[in-house]
């Protein structure tokens, strides 16, 4: 699957010389990149590289210490964050839900951005109709009334995509979305992401992962992070190379691609 993206499409994310410092420790330093509408980015790097911090800024959950970050054309620090977050979908497999909500109810929480249903809140008919449509599109009809604690990780992942898409966001963040999935569930989930990219041509996505095998075919761009710095970024085929990945992880790793999917293994040299 190949989704061409025009360079003149509007910028969804713009980082300019972004630094992030926490408790006197520099987490990010001089990070620059631009994500445009319709692009599907992979954010890759070892543990502690700064991926989660970048995703937090992308989701308007954190501000740069120095530099500038604009999300959906609005600069952080000069915008109503609550309103901005409504235009950002977030899929986190560690979604902190403990209540026994049904799949349908979980999807509806995407309208309010809450973990549980808001007391005395009645979703408008248009919201209910969109939730029903997303449930159908993502193949969740058979488990529509299933309770969250009884779902598999794969079922939860698809439900969280539906939840994230409910407000019709312009940006979708996927934070290690295949965590805890077996091989079959992972492949089903990645096909779902590919289908999503095919049907939502203007949606921009950023997917965080440690594993190249977990990248969907529809990935268009990639960035490699190491020690809080952006090592390289650009079209996925140019970034996800043996030399670049080996440098990023400081270990000889051989990269190959078959049928649109990447594979990584220790180099024999």
Domain boundary among 129, 145, 168: 168
Count of domains in the chain? Answer: 2
Shared-domain flag, residues 38 and 28: yes
185 and 156: one domain?
A: no
Residues 223 and 213 grouped into a single domain:
yes
Residue after which a domain boundary falls, among 118, 143, 168: 168
Strand partners, 13: 35, 71
Identify whether residues 177 and 104 lie together within a single domain. no
Q: Which residues pair with 19 in a beta bridge?
A: 66
What number of CA atoms fall less than 13 Å from residue 109's CA on the CB side?
Answer: 21
pLDDT at 225: 96
Instruction: Tell whether the model's pLDDT for residue 265 goes beyond 60.
Output: yes
Do 27 and 140 share a structural domain?
Answer: no
The CA-atom distances, in angstroms, between 269 and each of 59, 121, 251, 266 are 40, 61, 11, 9
Say if residue 269 is in the same domain as residue 185. yes
- Does residue 158 sit in the same domain as residue 58? no
pLDDT given at position 138:
87
Which pLDDT value is given to residue 1? 45
Say whether both 64 and 109 belong to one domain: no
Contact yes or no for 123/117 (Cβ under 8 A)? no
Q: Are 157 and 123 in contact (CB under 8 A)?
A: no
- Residue where a domain stops, chosen among 135, 151, 168: 168
Residues 116 and 1 in one domain: no
256 and 128 belong to one structural domain: no
What average pLDDT score do residues 136-144 get?
Answer: 91
Asked whether residue 145 carries a pLDDT value surpassing 90, the answer given is: yes
- State the pLDDT confidence band at 2, using cuts at 50, 70 and 90: very low
**Between residues 84 and 243, which one has the greater pLDDT?**
243
Instruction: Name the pLDDT band for 269 (thresholds 50, 70, 90).
Output: low
pLDDT digits over 234-247, tens only?
999 999 999 999 99
Q: Give the residue numbers spanning the domain of 226.
A: 1-87+169-269
Reported pTM: 0.89
26: part of which helix (H) or strand (E)? Answer: strand 25-36
pLDDT at 3 over 60: no
The backbone torsions φ and ψ at residue 31, rounded to the nearest 5 degrees and listed phi first, read -85, 125
If asked whether residues 179 and 258 sit together in one domain, one would say yes
Predicted local confidence at residue 6, as pLDDT: 56
Q: What is the pLDDT of residues 147-164, one digit of tens each?
A: 998 988 888 888 998 999
Provide the pLDDT for residue 118: 86
Average pLDDT, the chain: 90
Instruction: Note whether 190 and 258 are same-domain residues.
Output: yes
CATH of the domain at 215: 3.40.50.300
Percent of the chain clearing pLDDT 70 (strictly above): 96
């Amino acid at each position: 699957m190949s989704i061409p993206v025009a360079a003149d499409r509007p910028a969804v994310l713009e980082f300019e010389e972004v630094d992030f410092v926490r408790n006197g420790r520099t987490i990010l330093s001089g990070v620059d990149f631009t994500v445009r509408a319709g692009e599907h980015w992979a954010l890759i790097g070892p543990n502690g590289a700064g991926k989660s911090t970048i995703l937090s800024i992308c989701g308007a959950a954190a501000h740069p210490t120095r530099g500038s970050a604009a999300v959906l054309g609005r600069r952080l620090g000069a915008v109503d964050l609550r309103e901005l977050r409504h235009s950002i979908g977030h899929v986190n497999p560690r979604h902190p839900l403990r209540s026994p909500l049904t799949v349908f109810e979980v999807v509806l929480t995407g309208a309010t951005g809450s973990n549980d249903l808001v007391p005395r809140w009645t979703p408008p008919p248009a919201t209910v109709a969109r939730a029903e449509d997303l449930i159908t599109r993502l193949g969740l009809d058979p488990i529509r009334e299933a309770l969250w604690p009884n779902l598999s990780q794969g079922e939860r992942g698809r439900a969280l995509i539906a939840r994230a898409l409910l407000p019709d966001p312009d940006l979708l963040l996927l934070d290690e979305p295949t965590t805890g999935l077996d091989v079959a569930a992972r492949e089903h989930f990645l096909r779902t992401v590919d289908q999503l990219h095919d049907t939502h041509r203007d949606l921009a996505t950023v997917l965080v992962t440690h594993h190249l095998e977990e990248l969907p075919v529809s990935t268009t761009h990639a960035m490699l992070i190491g020690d809080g710095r952006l090592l390289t970024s650009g079209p996925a085929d140019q970034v996800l190379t043996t030399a670049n990945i080996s440098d990023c992880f400081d270990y000889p790793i051989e990269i190959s691609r078959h049928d649109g999917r990447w594979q990584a293994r220790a180099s024999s040299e």
